[in-house]
């Protein structure tokens, strides 16, 4: 029997049927695409960013990074904001909201000055959108007056947030750039300007590959290339870090956040929710697998909720945030030694090689049995566990307390499947 759980959630006063949205990107850039995504079950869309400026795109404009034959680990996108006329985009948003009134329409906008931000905000009002996102973070704009150069300037973020918030009563979300040391600074500036929520993160400035034929970066555009945005699974750790830091900041702890960056599975989405996000945006996974992945995400999340006894998202949103502490607050009184399951071990020797060449020479190799043997050099770093290709073959084992340290009950991870 199918498991059904309540995935609805309130985000900035708007009731969403589920937290899974298309992010403002190529995956939601016209009526037909968004309509199809709604039919597939997405809760809403951050429509591809619209500006007064209409993009003139290059070709090709995508590249990817993989590892050992895996699907995309990371994805490079040199596409800018919408290449369609501004009026056409807002007309599409109006029709989508008319035809799918229960779905959430978020207009993502980008201006190059105060006047343009105000004009776009008025057009959002006329289109009847539910929410507005301010794109302060696109890393591949051809003008320094737009995109991530704006997002790294707290004064501009504050001013443009104020321009939109003074023009419309529609809740405004500021989309942050990760191409900065501290995201809290522009995020606080956005809230000071009137933004009600934060979206994070946008893509990371990158060069993904060097083409050996044309001696330039990828993708190759008439023998040249450019630095531009990196997305996909490789960006998730960076996104989670920035989001945690913002939600642990006293001035931002109660601000609703839309999480973006490497969400490809239900578990990825769950991790953002556990940090405290109330909305999830997806692009790169859709580009690989299509809109239908939302069913996998919803079903996986509902099964996990059923296993844990949760009935709604608010039962567990933010549960992990308080357990992420400064490095100086970690308990350093003990070591947890790895234990090896000889029955599961395939005798590949990766743990031995990695420990000897990259750690503490704490594993001896029994050549006759082709099995690892732990020695007294072990410091409990668990590199061996991380390189082992067999799930739960190497797991945490004996706890050893450092001399003179107080022994307490230890919470640790047991299952690595």
Active site residues: 138
Tell me how far apart the terminal alpha carbons of the chain are, to the nearest angstrom. 25
Yes or no: say if 350 and 387 are a contact pair by the CB < 8 Å rule.
yes
Tokens of 29: 């850039």
CA distance 306 to 3: 7
Tokens of 197: 């929520």
- Cα dist. 65→9, 68, 206, 322 in Å? 34, 10, 11, 34
- Name the residue among 354, 375, 353 with its Cα closest to residue 364: 375
Residue 204, phi then psi, degrees to nearest 5: -100, 130
HEC letters along 352-414: HHHHHHHCCCCEEEECCCCEEEECCCCCCCCHHHHHCCCCCCEEEEEEEECCCCCCCCCCCCC
Q: Where are the alpha helices (DSSP H) in 211-292?
A: 236-247, 266-275, 284-289
* Residue 374 β-bridge partners: 363
Residue 10, phi then psi, degrees to nearest 5: -90, 125
């Amino acid at each position: 029997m199918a498991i059904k759980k309540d995935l609805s959630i309130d985000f900035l006063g708007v009731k969403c049927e589920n937290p899974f949205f298309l992010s403002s990107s190529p995956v939601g850039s016209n009526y037909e695409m968004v309509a199809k995504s709604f039919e597939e079950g997405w809760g809403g869309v951050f429509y591809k960013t619209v500006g007064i400026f209409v993009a003139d795109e290059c070709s090709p404009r995508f590249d990817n990074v993989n590892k050992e034959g895996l699907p995309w680990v990371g994805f490079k996108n040199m596409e800018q904001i919408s290449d369609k006329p501004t009026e056409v985009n807002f007309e599409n948003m109006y029709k989508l909201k008319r035809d799918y009134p229960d779905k959430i329409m978020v207009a993502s906008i980008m201006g190059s000055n105060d006047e343009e931000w105000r004009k776009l905000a008025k057009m959002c009002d006329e289109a009847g959108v539910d929410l507005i996102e301010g794109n302060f973070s696109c890393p591949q704009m051809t003008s320094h007056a737009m995109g991530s150069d704006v997002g790294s300037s707290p004064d501009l973020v504050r001013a443009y947030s104020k321009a939109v918030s003074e023009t419309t009563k529609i809740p405004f979300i500021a989309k942050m750039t990760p191409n900065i040391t501290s995201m809290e600074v522009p995020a606080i500036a956005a809230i000071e300007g009137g933004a009600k929520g934060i979206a994070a993160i946008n893509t990371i400035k990158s060069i993904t590959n060097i083409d050996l034929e044309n001696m330039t970066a990828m993708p190759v555009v008439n023998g040249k290339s450019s630095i531009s945005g990196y997305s996909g699974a490789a960006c998730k750790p960076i996104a989670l870090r920035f989001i945690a830091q913002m939600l642990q900041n006293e001035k931002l702890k109660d601000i609703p956040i839309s999480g973006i960056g490497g969400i490809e599975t239900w578990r990825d989405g769950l991790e953002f929710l556990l940090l405290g996000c109330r909305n999830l945006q997806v692009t790169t996974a859709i580009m690989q697998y299509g809109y239908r992945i939302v069913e996998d995400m919803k079903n996986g999340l509902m099964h996990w909720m059923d296993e844990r006894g949760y009935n709604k998202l608010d039962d567990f949103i933010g549960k992990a945030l308080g357990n992420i502490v400064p490095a100086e607050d970690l308990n350093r009184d003990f070591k947890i030694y790895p234990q090896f399951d000889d029955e599961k071990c395939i005798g590949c020797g990766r743990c031995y090689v990695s420990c000897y060449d990259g750690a503490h020479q704490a594993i001896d190799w029994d050549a006759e049995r082709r099995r690892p043997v732990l020695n007294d050099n072990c410091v409990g770093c668990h590199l061996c566990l991380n390189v082992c290709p067999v799930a739960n073959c190497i797991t945490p084992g004996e706890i050893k307390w450092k001399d003179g340290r107080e022994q307490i009950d230890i919470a640790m991870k047991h299952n690595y499947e």
